[in-house]
Structure formats: structure tokens, C-alpha cells
Structure 1
Amino acid sequence: MTDAHLAGLRADGVGYLFAGEDDLDRAMRALREELGIEHFLFEGGGASMAPCCVPGWLMKSA
């Protein structure tokens, strides 16, 4: 993502969080504990979904 795109998101009041595969569990816990977010939507193919299978988190597919 470009800095301009991120600036546009901030201007629109959209928050975002970047996390690598090794930081995904910590990022998801921060979203839940600090912001009260209880539901997550992950989109992508099999390779991008595999890191979302963090132990202790329930993964549902539509």
C-alpha cells in the first residue's frame, strides 16, 4: 500500500493494522482486548488463510 492510500484511509477515519505471520496472534489479541473487536473477516486464498489458523482462535468459513 502506498503512503497516499494509507493517508486517504486515515482521512476517512479508517483504522488499519499491519502484522506479519509471526505477529498475527498478538495483533488479533490487541484488536480484541484494546478495541473490543470480537469478529474478524479474513479474505484470500489458501496461502493467505493458513496463517489465520492461530491456536486458540475459532475459524469459520462461509
Structure 2
Amino acid sequence: MVVLGQERVTAFISHATWRALRGSESRQQSLIDIYRENKSAIDAAVVRRVVGGGRQPVVLRVSDL
């Protein structure tokens, strides 16, 4: 969930996007760790989609990041 002004925006991330965020590293990472490492980029992508007129909830794709 991203707060934009006084509005809370729900966002979902596709499985392909999670894989792209994880990269090709062989180490095992939890989704929470991946989110924490990429929070700024994820939040910025959500804001761009909403400001650009995207519908909610936002579904992020690899191309959004």
C-alpha cells in the first residue's frame, strides 16, 4: 500500500516483476526482503501509474520499474 496525499493506493506486483526484482542471483531471498530493497522504486512506480490516470488497484509490471 502506498500513501499518495491522503489516499491509500493498493498495488499488486506480478510474479514476473518479482523475478525481475530478484535478479539472476542464486541466493534465496524472501519477497519481503526483495520489497524492502526495492521499496523506493516500487512506490515511485505506483505513484507514476496513479498520477498518469491508472486505475486502482495498481498492478505493477516489469516495464513499470
Q: Report the TM-score, using the length of structure 2 for normalisation.
A: 0.25
Which structure is richer in relative contact order (CA contacts within 8 A, separation 6 or more)? 2
Rg comparison, structure with higher value: 1
TM-score by length of 1: 0.26
Which structure carries more strand by proportion? 2
